[in-house]
Amino acid sequence: MALIEQWRSKRSIVVDGIVALAGGAFGLGALLPGMVPPAAQGTLSAPRENWENPVRARIMSTLNRSPGIHFRELQRRLDAANGTLRHHLDVLVAEKSVTTMSVNGRTCYYAGAPAQVEILIGTGVTDDARAASMLPVGLSELQQAVVARLTRSDSPRSQAALARDLGRSRSAVHSALGVLRTRGIVAEGELRLADHLSGLKTSKLEYNWLDLRAEMA
């Protein structure tokens, strides 16, 4: 009986050793998925504060300030080579630190998920596609001008007045407002920004076209 117990003990040590080696090679989650918290299984990573790679650190910092900017704008701000930027974005997307969404036909980049953007907290929006559409990104030049004009405290009294301010036709402004209202950027039936963008004038968000605010002040 002593020999049997000794054999069992040795067999247990061997099996435990094999499990430990396999766990190191393939990850504990591959062997024991039930022991890995759901948060570690493919969910969106929260943006980290510290990044070992300086390029990725600058990418995340820029996307936190300007959620939803497109590739060319990000490249311009970082002064990065096309291939270099695409490589680092691919890595960040693969590890779920950056999300891409198509907005108005353009690929836009976000640190984390669009629904996590600070100005959307409290809106109750959890769908990332809807959240992305509610941010002032992927806009035409006229749509940008309309949003910039509506950041001013002296809101235009009518679409005709808005058209005169912008030097554009009433039909063009009417069309731009229709798109902005559908996306949830401009309030329905009013010439003002939606509630979540009411503080855009003094917001920490940085979009280069919002410099129009100063020109129109």
Task: Give one DSSP letter per residue of 187-205, joined into a string.
Answer: -TTSSSB-GGGTTGGG-S-
Does 210 lie in the same domain as 146?
yes
What's the CATH number where 63 sits?
Answer: 1.10.10.10
Residue 98 pLDDT greater than 80, yes or no: yes
Number of domains the chain is built from: 2
> Does some domain include residue 109?
yes
> Does some domain include residue 134?
no
Best CA proximity match to 146, nearest among 181, 196, 105: 181
Q: Tell me the whole-structure pTM to 2 decimals.
A: 0.68
> Does some domain include residue 129?
no
Give per-residue pLDDT as tens, 11-63: 444 444 444 444 444 444 444 444 444 333 333 444 455 567 899 999 999 99
Give per-residue pLDDT as tens, 133-159: 999 998 999 999 999 999 887 889 999
> Does some domain include residue 28?
no
**Domain containing 97: what range?**
54-114
Which of 114, 149, 182 finishes a domain? 114
**What pLDDT is recorded for position 126?**
92
